[in-house]
A and B are shown apart, each in its own frame.
Chain A
Amino acid sequence: MRLGFSNPLSAVAKPVALAWFILAFPVASRWALASRRREKAPSAAWTSSYAFLSLLGLTITAFLGRLVPVIGINPFPVIALIGVVAFALILIRWITSAPFWRSATVLSLSVVFGGWAAGVVWGRIYKNPLFLENLMLDGKVHHDTLHLASFANMLRNYHVASTGIDGIPYIPYHWGTPWLFAQWSNLIGSRVIDFYQLGFPVTMIPFFFAGVLAFAVGFRERRRTEPADPFRTSLSVWLIFLAACIGVIPLASLDALGVWTSNYLISESYTVAVPAAILVMGVAIAFFDDATRVEQSARGRVPLSEWLFYVAFAPLAVIGLGYLKISLILLAFPVALYAFLRLRLWTRLPAVVSAVLLIVGCYVAYRRVSLPGHYEGFARFDFMKTYVPLVWWPFFFLVHLAWSWAYAAFRLRQANVNTLSDLRAKLGDRSLLDVEVLAVVALFGLAPGLLLHIDGGSAFYFSDVQRWIALALLLSFGPEFIRFLGFARDLPSVYSERQGSWRNVSTATVLRWFIAVPLLVTIAVNAAVWPARMVRANGETRRGLYALEGYQGLPAGIHAWLRLRDPVNLARGLAASPNYGVTTGLASLAAFDVTSRRQTALFIPQTQTAYWTALTRPGACTYQSFIAPAITGMAMIDGMPAYGCPLSRYYGLGAFHPRSRPQTNSDTQPAALCARAKPWGMSRIVVATFAWTGVMQLSLIKCQGSN
């Protein structure tokens, strides 16, 4: 997507290596642990579980990234080497453990799926391989990314959760992913704004799906006494997976029922938090399944691992989820409490301590991450009213929760639950705890959107969580679920029935394929929508740049992407773009060394219309402030939007004082600016202005007491 633009290979290779490390770490660690103990299989302890090790790998990379600016040494080459080698070993072992065509099929499918995921994340204006180029060209980029990059930059450089548009006051927000991305930016040595465009998709989208699949594998294994069929051979598993991720009915119709197929990959906080939550569940399951621990507990002993789980892991994990995504803490907390009650954990001292820690910790965390601007009071059926056409309301609960309904129906049938009496009996012996937990997540997930107004459709991030848990659970039952749906065998064997005379093809098979074909075609069509959109958008950017150079009769859309790749023309187009000077000028400030940056604030006078009108989407004036912190990594002084601009009540803007009058000349005097910078410990101010040509000019104000 960046062919023809500045496109160093290392910028792509580094996030890939990081992703391989994160994804390979749990498997490699389990090998290492097993080989150290000279066992064939890894230990069943929760600390050896894939889920825990996966979370651990993530955490290690984050803390290593945090150490980079502290110790001045970057361990990324080691991380990258481990990632590449571990991934290579896993891949080789995986390929050689089955007929090649099966592996090749899954690999091909993965490539296509990757293309689809790229389309989703880059097919809208939130994230884009040409994000900065689009900003330069016409300023039509989404402000969310700028807001989040500002946050991450402030966390990276000032260690404060703030957007830094007028100093660096703390802003309550689930800033876990900005923090995480800031550390990973340290690790791979990239700008945060670039990491959002490339690093996030490359590392976290695979992590999202890996989390779901890993949970499915783990949940499947715990039920089995003998090895199960590998996922790789089960077409049914992949079809269920694709159906849930891509959708089996047209996208417009899914949208009409509030089942959004792109948001879960666009919202980075959600993309990170959901697999993290699922892996936390995986750790919990591993903990409760650990026979050794159960045996020790039965003897009245409380093993150390139990203390660790209850007192350290569980509270930290739930609180951590809150920092990643506020919706997840609001779902994890009731689930944890529900489990506490249903498993009668009050008889276990560590569990009681854990519960207390959890309650206190969640309360504190909630206060730290919840933005007061989002408290907008009671609003009945707000999500439905806003996003679901009235005529489709009756179907909302059925379709929005379809995967949860499917899992519940399947499990009840599987458990031979025929009557409510049977159900009560099964609930009594806790054999349907998975369904219960899913129901808790579904109900608590629906509640916010049905009771409150949550801006920007963010209620979706509550109600959609059940989809991924249900999917993970369903995948663990793949072939059985397909049989439950009426397909007597797994799909590949159905195909073999066609052998022989057409007269032998069963009518049931014809019927199944008659129903299945539209669904499969729709998956394929849906899968093509986003990549096509991405390529088209990319082509349009190129076309816009060529047009600035005076070219006529340019191809449009996908053709533009194919043909408009000349680096010289693109570079000229960029240089002629309206926001070129602002963007490149600000980007040059990102090169400031970290130490001096911490003491320096950025000031852009309101007279600098080149900056204050850079974003061009409707209502963009309120978001102009985020451009500088997002690109430079520096906090601004007196950077609130212009007087008269209607301010958004979200995006943490409420933490700053809105202008009560237009900026005056006296406001821009060094003394006034230093007075504003001083409370934040900043002793230098860089004043950026832009000439009519767009070229940035800098002047430095040294406040009293600065060196």
Chain B
Amino acid sequence: MPGQQLIQREAVSELTIAADDRDTVVVFATVVASVLAALYYISRIGFDNPASPVVETLGLSLFLSASPRLSARLLTRADNDAEATWWRSQPFLTLAAITLVALAGVLAVRLGINLILLFSLAGIASALIVLVRWLRLGTVTGNVARLACPAGFGVWVAGVAWSSRHKSPVFWEALVYNGNVHHDPFYFVSIGNMMQTYGVPSTGIDGIPYTPYHYGAAWLFAQLAGMVHTDLLSFFNLGFPVIAIPLLFGSVLLIAVEWKHRVRATGGQPAIPFRSDWLAWAVFLVATIGVVPSIGLDALGVWIRHVVISESYVTGLPCFLLALATAGIFWQQRRNARAPGNAIFLYAFLPLAIVVLGFLKISTMVLFLGVVIVVTLLTGQWRTPRITVSMLLLLVLSAVTYRFVSVPGQNQGIVPFAYVRSSVLGGWWPFFLLLHFLWSWLYVGGRLREAGVRNLGELSDGIGSHRLLDVAIVAFIALAGLLPGELIDIHGGSAFYFSDMQRWTALPLVMACVSQWVRVLPRSDRKPENTSLLQRIRVGHVWAVVVLLPLVAAFAINAIQFPASAASVNLSLRRALYRQAGLTPEQSPPMLTDARVLDAGLRRSNSYQLLATLKGLRELPPATRTKSVLFIPQSVTRFWHIFPEAERCTFVPFVGPAVSGLALLDGMPPSDCPISNQYSLPVYQKRRGPQSESDTEPSALCVKAKAKGFARIVVIEQGANNAIGVHTISCGVRGD
């Protein structure tokens, strides 16, 4: 048994496998976070590149990954799962760590008490402790190989996150150079900035009206950005990948480990340590990176990149998984119905989880609520009054939260099979159910086979007796996640964020089980030892190679293409800035990291002065900022044409609040610009005609500003030679 050999060779005893597995998860997340942070820093060499935000962000990321592990170990005495009640479990402690960090962010932003050093040091120290312990159990070669895997994964994930125009270590520079960046981040950052500056979730395009949106992630990252002394737009490109991505994949792995050790029985066979469970890792890589070309996956609506690109999804999904795991542990260990922890779970944890999930990503709230209700119904717990009350509370809270976070424009009406029609390549729709939900079906199929379920009657009995409750939950998440997109036209393919959740629920469960499933597969009799080479090579293995080779090759292409693309984008920008600085390609050194040249290139960019001015407004004292609003007249073409594509005129206003941190006044796009019905733009009034001179008069502006609660207007002006200037209008409100 290969796993067993590894156990012996690497001195990992069965008793410590659970602990080692949890350490493996931490080591994975640590390495991925470190690689992301390092790549971010490397990608910015030559640009403004202070090390402290990167290190502090990494420290926060490690705090979220490693400190729950150490806390759980301390609380449960050497990983005794029997003792690990839900509130002492690592999933819950991870959620607690996230909450703690968020509260620390509030302290830093609101009260100026910044504990970043403490959190960073704690995170780094925790990660180092776990890493050293983990390394001691392996051989040097084994450790190097196993560290290389997450490092490679980190490179891939960095490539995915930073090869799109959504996020980039040089996002700011790309914006300054030619505006060739995606507009989504400005929307997200605008909301975060408005919450940070004014305490109101709004995009701040024309004052700060409330904007329904699941802005939880924006709020969270605004607090963290405050902790690491950087602006949210920069932190969006750094903090989100370095913190949220390792948290997501770490959570997936943690669920796999928890499932394996808390629920799965090994059937008398020795458990394989997670670090040596190559099959589980193969499953993980196949599910994340993919073994068919990414365009093939796109054709089936299985979007590899979105899980890393959508900040709300990447933040909401691990919270969903961790909450689900916590709930699972609660249901599994709930021996004493009257234990005080039960009430806390039912009346505090679950309601809070529902609300938080709703604010992070609406799809996570809906599905979490669904799972809780389904489990309650299937297990008959609904007959228990305490649980019934809790469920009712959840329903009420969900409804209330939904009203706060649901964007009306996203719901474009009932359209049967909207997601399949819009996002699945023609001809592939018959395969949608099969392949989009592949991981769920794999788990369901594997579990049914394992449980010896032969017919639908036995399946029904298995679910009824709770023996196959996990199967029912996975199937429910798949089917419930399918419905929104197939009933309603959700704008921008966002139905994906419902239907894709099953992948991340099923994946860890498959990872937890796959080795055991393979071990019990029937095997043909072994040949005697003294056989020839031809007798030892089985035809089945040859076929496996024939089938696997293309998959491995496609995997390699998928793994390489995104990092290569990210590197290419970075180099292209540097080359462009070198050219702009007056250096020909022949004169440009291969590394393109000369800070003076890059800075000169940036300064010669059309938008440099404007954006630098807007960014400079962040230096205003907080008390002044909260009273101020930004006005950028339509005549400032440098701003209103900042995106190279004319059709993106509708998204230009977001740049102002995102970069300056101030809300705009009268900041709707020009009257001839087709306004999107998304991005919360309908909460503002569309221009009826071109902005007139009288609209830009101080008196007119002050009337508008006062109506929106502002006393001070910062006006951007574009003079002769396109020079950008700033002046302030004080509207004379008392207290100003």
Contact = CB atoms under 8 A, between A and B. Distances in A.
B550 A418 contact: no
B707 interface: no
B535 A419 contact: yes
Contacts of B433: 514, 518
Nearest to A502: B456
A125 to B, nearest CB: 22
A507 B536 CA distance: 35
Contacts of B546: 398, 405
A376 B445 CA distance: 53
B455 A395 contact: no
A160 B589 CA distance: 67
A505 B456 contact: yes
Interface in A417-446: 417-424
B554 interface: yes
Given A391-B554, A421-B532, A501-B457, A412 B539 contact: yes
**Interface residues of chain A: helix, strand, loop or mixed (majority):** helix
Contacts of A592: none
Contacts of A521: 430
Interface in A391-423: 391-395, 397-398, 405, 409, 412, 417-423
A159 B551 CA distance: 54
| Most chain B CB within a 10 A radius of its CB, from A393, A504, A507, A518 | A507
B426 A391 contact: no
A253 B459 contact: no
Given A253-B428, A405-B546, A518-B430, A391 B456 contact: no
A420 B456 contact: no
Given A253-B428, A391-B293, A507-B448, A420 B539 contact: yes
Nearest to B453: A507
A418 B455 contact: no
B538 interface: yes
B203 to A, nearest CB: 38
A504 B461 CA distance: 12
B85 to A, nearest CB: 35
A253 B427 contact: yes
A419 B525 CA distance: 12
A123 B221 CA distance: 57
A594 interface: no
Interface string B443-472: 001001000011111111000000000000
A394 B454 contact: no
A40 to B, nearest CB: 42
B542 A420 contact: yes
A424 B434 contact: no
Contacts of A392: 293, 296
Contacts of B430: 517-519, 521-522, 525
B427 A503 contact: no
Nearest to A506: B455
A511 interface: yes
A9 interface: no
Contact of A394 (B445, B532, B549): B549
Contacts of B445: 511
Interface in A362-400: 389, 391-395, 397-398
B581 interface: no
Contacts of A250: 425-428
A384 to B, nearest CB: 13
B434 A514 contact: yes
A391 B527 CA distance: 40
Nearest to A392: B293
A252 interface: yes
A397 to B, nearest CB: 7
Nearest to B536: A419
Contacts of B552: 394
Contact of A422 (B441, B454, B539, B547): B539
A373 B552 CA distance: 40
A70 interface: no
B456 A510 contact: yes
A421 B538 CA distance: 9
Interface string A520-532: 0110011000000
A251 B549 CA distance: 24
A83 B648 CA distance: 69
Interface of B is mostly: helix
Interface string B522-552: 0010010001111111111011001101111
A473 B460 CA distance: 42
A515 interface: yes
| Most chain A beta carbons < 10 A, residue from B431, B527, B542, B553 | B431
Contacts of B428: 250, 253
A420 B537 contact: yes
A395 B434 CA distance: 20
A519 B428 CA distance: 10
B295 A391 contact: yes
Interface in B290-304: 292-296, 299
Contacts of A395: 292, 550, 554
B457 A419 contact: no
A98 to B, nearest CB: 32
A418 B540 contact: yes
Contacts of B454: 506-508
Nearest to B449: A507
B456 A525 contact: no
Contacts of A502: 456-457
Interface string B417-443: 000000001111011011000000100
Nearest to A501: B457
Nearest to B550: A394
A504 B534 contact: no
B557 interface: yes
Contacts of B542: 420
Q: Residue among A253, A421, A508, A519 with the most chain B CB within 10 A? A: A421
A503 B454 CA distance: 10
B534 A397 contact: no
Given A405-B546, A417-B539, A503 B431 contact: no
Contacts of B460: 503
A422 B453 CA distance: 36
B730 to A, nearest CB: 60
Nearest to B293: A391
Interface string B675-688: 00000000000000
Contacts of B457: 501-504
Nearest to B554: A394
B538 A424 contact: no
Contacts of A525: 427, 430
A525 B429 CA distance: 10
A511 B445 CA distance: 8
Given A418-B538, A419-B539, A420-B534, A394 B456 contact: no
Nearest to B427: A250
Contacts of A249: 427, 431
A503 B455 CA distance: 6
B455 A409 contact: no
A503 B456 contact: yes
Contacts of B553: 393-394
A250 B524 CA distance: 37
Contacts of A424: 534
B295 A507 contact: no
Contacts of B425: 250, 252
B554 A518 contact: no
A423 B453 CA distance: 37
Nearest to B537: A420
Given A502-B457, A503-B456, 18 more contacts: A249-B431, A253-B299, A391-B294, A391-B295, A394-B549, A394-B554, A395-B554, A418-B539, A419-B535, A420-B542, A421-B535, A504-B456, A506-B454, A514-B433, A515-B434, A518-B433, A522-B431, A525-B427
Closest 5 CB pairs of A and B: A250-B427, A503-B457, A394-B553, A391-B293, A394-B550
16 contacts: A250-B425, A250-B428, A253-B428, A389-B295, A391-B295, A391-B554, A393-B553, A394-B550, A398-B546, A419-B534, A420-B534, A420-B535, A423-B534, A507-B453, A511-B445, A525-B427
